[in-house]
Structure 1
Amino acid sequence: MDPRTPLRRRLHVWNTADLRAAGVTRHRQQALLAKGVLRSYGGGWFGTSRTSAEVAGALSRGNRLTCFSAARIHGLWTPALEGVHEVSRRTAGEERPGLVVAHTPALRRWPDDEPVMPLPIALTHALTCLDAESAAVLLESALERRLLVPSQVDALLAEAPARQRRAVGRVSALAGSGSETRVRRYLERRGVRVREQVPVFDGGRVDLLVGDRLVIECDSVRHHGGRSQYYKDRRRDRASLVEGCLVLRLTWEDIWLRWEETAAVLRTLIRRRVHRGQRIGGVGS
């Protein structure tokens, strides 16, 4: 039986206690290391060729992943940010690789025996490190995936710097992706009413309903790349049109790689009040 926790199994990481509980003797451990089957990162941590470079690198430096690096491992939807975010038990300013972001203050002790920081602590670091939008993406993903409850998010925000807390603003539990979070927050900052996961038509929901009749669907290759999903999306578009809505479908690239262009399109639609008024065809809202 594998004595590791589910997280350590998923990350292909062992600690000394795991090896001992699995019946791996000291002699056997040395033989596995000599063959390259097992790799030592120091501090009682071991991995294999399947251990990710981020996890292995942090452990080899005596650190653990935190902030959005840990949030991604915990299963949150994360924006495309650069760098590897780590926290240490040491305050010494040892030299780190260029893309490693060291979080402070250093910890007096580790909160558990996992190779990455627990999600609440990782999000605490995110609230002091990331911009408000990226922090909101993580918080909303944690709620939507039921990894945290609203009271836990409220507690994290209460401990965050006041300026960051105000900048993050409303946190929704309905955002299906960070793309939805970005679009919704952009429109809300401009005073536009936006509702998430709205049952516009019988048996189906839309990502965002802007004002009275503008539907915005936020697509990604991961969730919308298959042929069956392609046809399902088109059926949803037809159903939305039948209900008198206008449909704008945005890709991940539109939202994260061409955001300035996309934001200009949204501003134009709002300025022309495309989202306001009775639904097309006389169907009421």
Structure 2
Amino acid sequence: MNIERAIDRLGGVAHQTALAELGFTPVDARAAVSAGRLMRIRKSWVARTGNDSDAVAAVRVGGSLTCLSLLRARSVWCAEDGDLHVRADRNTSHFASPQSRRVPLDREVHRVKIHRTLSGLIPSPDTRSQAAQPALRASDSVAVALMQMITCQPRDHAIAAIDSALVKKLVTRHRLETMAESLTLKHREAVALSDANSESGLETKARLRLRALGIPFRSQVPIRGVGRVDLLIGDRLVIELDGRKWHSSEQAFTRDRGRNLTLHEAAYLPMRYSYAQVMYEWDRIEAVIRGHVRRREHRWSSRQRRDGCGFENTWSESTGARGMRPAEPTR
């Protein structure tokens, strides 16, 4: 394996300690830089020539890619803020532009958010021996990025990102719980409120807000002829949340309306909301839901039960067996 392939294996950018673990010396790196096969982006850091990734930019600034910038690159659901999120050691004082080490960092102009390493998250260089120091990485792990996000973003956004990472199996709950235990109550609460069954960030946000209102619900409930619905309040109030990615095509529009019709045929009360409505008009949604619950329209009426309602057409996802079961009682 040559040094270029080693750099590729390390994600396209590498510190000399990581290269040393693969058997490459500083002399090897200097020779590759002189030949134009690699470029030096910071002292002891090299990358493949032409690599303009966020990880390279973060190293050039003076730290590691983290928080939203790292999570977006891993396809974790998170908000967009247009900033480059960089984690730096607590004693780092010199930061440079993402484009050039010769230009001092202007956080507003260069759109860079500096995160200081959380105390207790990663041992600082002065608390470990040089021999025990692990190779430096250009990008944080998903777990570390999530811990940094909890201090950076609104609670609902952070929990939505945790849910997404758990669903995608990019991290384990045990790993997050272990890390949060050494941090703050805010970190422990965010991990405790996460749910690996949440299908999207929108579902997480709605779930947390309904929980805050004290309105009981179930998530990802399977209904015969429809599939799983995002949230079910009481017996029949179905909440469907349309993310931008999966509900923007004409085919998706037609499918969603077909689901609504099937739900109406079975006497459910479907409510479908867009990404923008959940993100920016939740107060209006909340008022509508509270109205339905106050009027007890989320429960089957006596007449509906006499007509055969009051049972959910469901199936067992483990066995594939279809059947009927009574709705769980809710207030």
| TM-score, scaled relative to structure 1 | 0.80
Instruction: Tell me if the contact between 1:13 and 1:48 (Cα under 8 Å) persists in the aligned partners.
Output: no
Amino acid at match of 1:283: C
Amino acid at match of 1:246: L
Structure 2: which 5+ runs fail to align?
A: 96-104, 126-132, 311-326
- Over the matched positions of the two proteins, sequence identity in percent amounts to 27
Are 1:184 and 2:207 matched, yes or no?
yes
Are 1:51 and 2:64 matched, yes or no?
no
- Residue aligned with 1:192, SS: coil
Match of 2:241 among 218, 228, 232: 218
Partner deviation per Cα, 1:223-281 (whole Å, 9 max, x = no partner): 12223322222222222223321111111111223334434433444444332335696
Corresponding position of 1:69 = 69
- Residue aligned with 1:273, SS: coil
Moved more, 148-157 or 245-254: 148-157
Corresponding position of 1:137 = 160
* Cα distance between partner residues in 1 of 2:64 and 2:55: 7
Match of 1:117 among 127, 140, 145: 140
Match of 1:100 among 99, 113, 121: 113
How far 1:59 sits from its partner (Å)? 0.9
Moved more, 105-114 or 91-100: 105-114
Corresponding position of 2:36 = 32
Instruction: Tell me if the contact between 1:135 and 1:168 (Cα under 8 Å) persists in the aligned partners.
Output: no
After superposition, the Cα gap between the structure-2 partners of 1:89 and 1:131, relative to the gap in structure 1 and judged at 3 Å, is same
After superposition, the Cα gap between the structure-2 partners of 1:219 and 1:50, relative to the gap in structure 1 and judged at 3 Å, is farther
Amino acid at match of 2:62: G
* Cα distance between partner residues in 1 of 2:242 and 2:190: 26
How far 1:50 sits from its partner (Å)? 5.6
Corresponding position of 1:248 = 271
* Cα distance between partner residues in 1 of 2:251 and 2:39: 42
Partner deviation per Cα, 1:137-194 (whole Å, 9 max, x = no partner): 1211111111223322332443342245346653211111111000111011111112
Instruction: Tell me if the contact between 2:118 and 2:148 (Cα under 8 Å) persists in the aligned partners.
Output: no
Please show how residues 126-275 of structure 1 align to structure 2 within 5 Å: 126-166=149-189, 169-202=192-225, 204-275=227-298
State the aligned residue count: 275
After superposition, the Cα gap between the structure-2 partners of 1:196 and 1:41, relative to the gap in structure 1 and judged at 3 Å, is same
- Residue aligned with 2:166, SS: helix
How far 1:134 sits from its partner (Å)? 2.0
- Aligned CA RMSD, in angstroms, stands at 3.3
How far 1:222 sits from its partner (Å)? 1.0
* Cα distance between partner residues in 1 of 2:262 and 2:212: 29
Instruction: Tell me if the contact between 2:177 and 2:191 (Cα under 8 Å) persists in the aligned partners.
Output: no
